Chains A and B, each alone.
Chain A
Amino acid sequence: MVAATRERPAVQAVGARLSVEAVSHAFDIRGTPLPVLDRVSLAVEPGGFVALLGPSGCGKSTLLRLVAGLEPPDQGLITVDGDLVEGPDPSRLLVFQDPTLYPWRTVRGNVALGLEAQGVGRATRAARIDQALGLVGLAGFADAYPHQLSGGMAQRAALARALVNEPRLLLLDEPLGKLDALTRLAMQAELLRLWEEKRFTAVLVTHDVEEALILAERVIVLGDRPAAIRAELPVDAPYPRHRDDPDLVRLRRTILEILGQTT
């Protein structure tokens, strides 16, 4: 059993290198093009943790969708470990802004989906699912249906569904957005612990400047639609970080100024 849970080679657990080069994208709304991304370039080193901040509707989710391979970008290149992203792949997982669990599957069944698709054996699957559910604190809810979960629990289930696949690149679209303040803090710590342990590469979209500063090694601020990168700020404070850290407080003010919300 123990050997079976480690059937993937150790290299797989290491984060991927992400590179986004001059990506522009537009949507077509009733014949009129709506430019959403404007020559966005960013690079995330293997095992890095980058947070994306930006006004609502600027194109953050769109950028993650492109990186996940759900849509091809109109212009520009997206590569992961040097390979062009041409479609979705389980090594590059997107956790949606809303949990999008399958209502007809139990929590366990939802988390199992990726492993089933890869043909992972039943016993191994069960062990890995239990482990993932334990990580997000849902061990007691394996057999619950999504409608029996709270909003926050549903998001944690969605997180477990991604983590169980040991992605090399984890794309998180406001995964903690629906959590109450306390659970949110706990999940931030949890996410950090997971990231430090598994060493996946993480791209986190969030509205919460503080969250970005607590978690990320680098914060990227996007401007209004069509989104272009306004600023890129390294966050050098060591983990675990404290929100009252004067460096972070200063950074926070800078970011809020860039976002145009001077407080």
Chain B
Amino acid sequence: MRQGGRVGLGLVLPLALAIGWEIAVDSGLVSGRLLPPPSRIGATLLDLAASGDLLMHVEATLIRVGLGFLWGAAAGILAGALVATLPILRWLVDPSVQALRAVPSLAWVPLFILWFGILETPKVLLIAVGVFFPVYVGVSGAIASVDRKLVEVGRIFRLSRLALAWRILLPAVLPATLVGLRTGLGLGFLFVVAAELMGASEGLGYLLVDGQQFSKPDQIVAAIITFALAGKLADMVLVTLTRPLTRWQDTARESL
């Protein structure tokens, strides 16, 4: 109940601003040409949805994010696990990865375009790069910080190496890995915008570019809102899907 009240309180400011803007434009106080009132944005959204365009754009964007996320997460988990468990590899590879991590990922865009053209490959790759780093850092950090004694208890009971990895290391690193994946997914949405801005014929980013070129601010805002919803929804799906894996943590949080 109290939490519901707090959510409601958070809505007050945006709602008031929206209503205020609507009234201001309605009464002719401002033109609303550069920032259309909520009703116009809503109408644009409905139009886009009704024509089926919105679904097509959302789908294109989600597929890119999904593919980039899969590749980036898989590479991040694999590299993170290898680097954390094999010291040689850590000394050999980790400094380079950390150096690459310092490069603002958008700086890759021109290079990727040169290498892979402007079709799907560079877009998915850019998103994958964005997803890779938080996952890599999360996984390698989690493995490195597993309590040595938890492993020793397993050794005392003579768990096989496989059982040790499966029953002790995996659950121990899962929470940090999931945090990494979640951060990665968020970055995936950040990067899909950049990827679609570099040239696309469909996708929410295309709606942004198109809105700018043809001076349709309502379309831009509509795309922004859809981005926010899609990102939030994807995050919720990830959290819901992975919740059973860390249920013990939820009970820990509840009892706090």
Contacts and interface: CB of A to CB of B under 8 A. Distances in A.
A113 B153 contact: yes
Interface of B: 147, 149-150, 152-160, 163, 167-168, 171-172, 174, 246, 248-249, 251-252, 255
Given A117-B158, A145-B248, A70 B152 contact: yes
Interface string A97-124: 0101011110000000110111000000
Nearest to A65: B152
Contacts of A87: 155
A118 B168 CA distance: 16
The number of chain A residues touching the other chain, given as a range, is: 20 to 34
A89 B158 contact: yes
Contact of B252 (A96, A118, A145): A145
B251 A100 contact: no
B156 A100 contact: no
Contact of B156 (A70, A104, A116, A148): A70
B248 A88 contact: no
B152 A148 contact: no
A96 B248 contact: no
A94 interface: yes
27 contacts: A70-B155, A88-B152, A88-B155, A88-B156, A88-B157, A89-B158, A90-B157, A94-B156, A96-B153, A98-B149, A100-B147, A100-B149, A102-B171, A104-B172, A104-B246, A105-B171, A113-B154, A113-B159, A113-B167, A114-B157, A116-B167, A117-B159, A117-B160, A145-B251, A147-B251, A147-B252, A165-B157
Nearest to A103: B248
A53 interface: no
Interface string A61-98: 00000001010000000000000000111101110101
B155 A102 contact: no
Given A89-B156, A147-B255, A165-B157, 5 more contacts: A102-B171, A104-B248, A104-B249, A113-B159, A118-B158
A165 B157 CA distance: 9
A116 to B, nearest CB: 8
A109 to B, nearest CB: 10
Contacts of B172: 104
